[in-house]
Amino acid sequence: MITRIVTPSESGKRLHRYIRNMMPNYPLGQIYKMIDQGKVKVNGKRKKDSYELAAGDELTIFIEDDKFADASIGSDNKKVKFAGVVSNIDVVYEDNELLVVNKPAGLLTHPDQTEQKETLITRVHAYLHKKGELDSHMFLPASANRLDRNTSGLVLVGKTAGMLHQLNQWIQKRELDKFYVTIVEGALTHGGTVDAKLIRDERGNRTRVVKEGAGTTASERTADEKEATTRYKPLQAGKGYTLIEVELISGRTHQIRTHLQSIGHPLLGDVKYGGKPFEKVNHQLLHAWKISLPDGRVFTAPLPALFRATLKKAGISFALTSEAE
């Protein structure tokens, strides 16, 4: 029996295609047959081959381990090769089920079309493999949250299917609290909430606020619009800049960057979303510094060196503690 938890980046895939990606050497006809015979279940129930998977779905395939191993050769679910993969990661917390990692800026969270090897999750796999805790045929640990390449901070990794499912459930139900710190342009003197729908342009890799009224076409008022809510509060002002804490209520791509630009306070250095370069910083300084789980556990990650140095240059002196008050 093989178990997988569908990650946010895999949501929307049809069941038969998902299995096909897992088992490229298995005849497609046999995959359809397995689904029809109930040898594939989603959250313990039979589904049609056209079922669209959602993040957090638990997929169970009733197949012998040796058959799966042969069927998965050449796929991403083959035993991971770790030659040349960095296994050193900044571990914030670890137990038998959960791994919390502090991701550096500049590193992708997951592989994409531009990079397959040098990512946070491949480093995590290499780290767990080195410890003898990875069996990629049974379950491949995955992250429940994703950070942009140039965003640093906390990433939650489920080491077991059960924990990954739990993390995804907490995120979907908004029971998991995520806090970021960033530097924005201008003097931001009061906290507030940005509650504005977002629409994503995948081709241009940009997100924008959907504004009602002038300039909004009917085509923009579609199912592509996503509800998004961001809370923010100033921590300390400097020379034309403000250090703020942001609580991410929803989790849309580029949400913080887009929402803060929409209220006239783009992130320092974030040239993609209206910010100006600062010294040698030409990307957003955004750090996922605290995560609070519903079970009472709280994790924090210290500010990176570049972030601290930039604060000093911007005339901001602030010590980030477990409570950014």
Please give the average per-residue pLDDT across 78-87, as a whole number: 63
SS (H, E, C) 278-310: ECCECCCCEEEEEEECCCCCEEECCCCHHHHHH
Helix (H) or strand (E) segment spanning residue 37: none
Distances (CA, A) of 102 to 107, 147, 255: 11, 11, 20
Q: Which CATH architecture has domain 1-78?
A: Roll (3.10)
> How far apart are the C-alpha atoms of 219 and 201, rounded to whole Å?
13
Confidence of residue 325 (pLDDT cuts 50, 70, 90): very low
**Are 110 and 122 a contacting pair, CB within 8 Å?**
no
Report the length, in residues, of the chain.
325
The pTM for the full model equals 0.74
Residue 235 has pLDDT above 80, yes or no: yes
Instruction: Name residues whose C-beta falls within 8 Å of residue 309's C-beta, 6 or more positions apart in sequence.
Output: none
Instruction: Name residues whose C-beta falls within 8 Å of residue 210's C-beta, 6 or more positions apart in sequence.
Output: 196, 197, 198, 199, 216, 220, 221, 225
- CATH level 3 topology of 177-293: Pseudouridine synthase (3.30.2350)
pLDDT reported for residue 85: 76
Residue 253 has pLDDT above 50, yes or no: yes
* Burial state string for 150-180 with b = 16 or more CB within 10 A and e = fewer than 16: bbbbbbbbbbbbebbbbbbebbeeeebebbb
DSSP designation for 188: -
pLDDT reported for residue 169: 86
User: What are the catalytic residues?
Assistant: 148
- Closest to 3 (Cα-Cα) out of 163, 124, 116, 132: 163
- Closest to 251 (Cα-Cα) out of 291, 214, 300, 305: 291
> How far apart are the C-alpha atoms of 264 and 194, rounded to whole Å?
12
**Are 153 and 180 a contacting pair, CB within 8 Å?**
yes
- Closest to 48 (Cα-Cα) out of 72, 19, 69, 27: 19
Give the count of beta carbons closer than 10 Å to the beta carbon of residue 295. Answer: 9
All structural domains of the chain with their residue ranges: 1-78, 83-173, 177-293
Q: Which CATH architecture has domain 83-173?
A: 2-Layer Sandwich (3.30)
Q: Between 276 and 319, whose confidence is greater? A: 276
Residue 4 has pLDDT above 90, yes or no: no
Q: Between 295 and 139, whose confidence is greater? A: 295
Residue 294 has pLDDT above 60, yes or no: yes
Residues above pLDDT 70, as percent of the chain: 86
Query: Are 83-173 and 177-293 the same fold in CATH?
Result: yes
101-115, 170-184, 229-243, 292-306: least confidently modelled range: 101-115
pLDDT reported for residue 257: 94
Give pLDDT tens digits for 83-125. Answer: 667 788 999 999 999 999 999 999 998 876 666 678 898 899 8
Give pLDDT tens digits for 27-47. Answer: 788 888 999 999 999 999 999
Give the count of beta carbons closer than 10 Å to the beta carbon of residue 13. Answer: 17
Confidence of residue 79 (pLDDT cuts 50, 70, 90): very low
Confidence of residue 50 (pLDDT cuts 50, 70, 90): confident
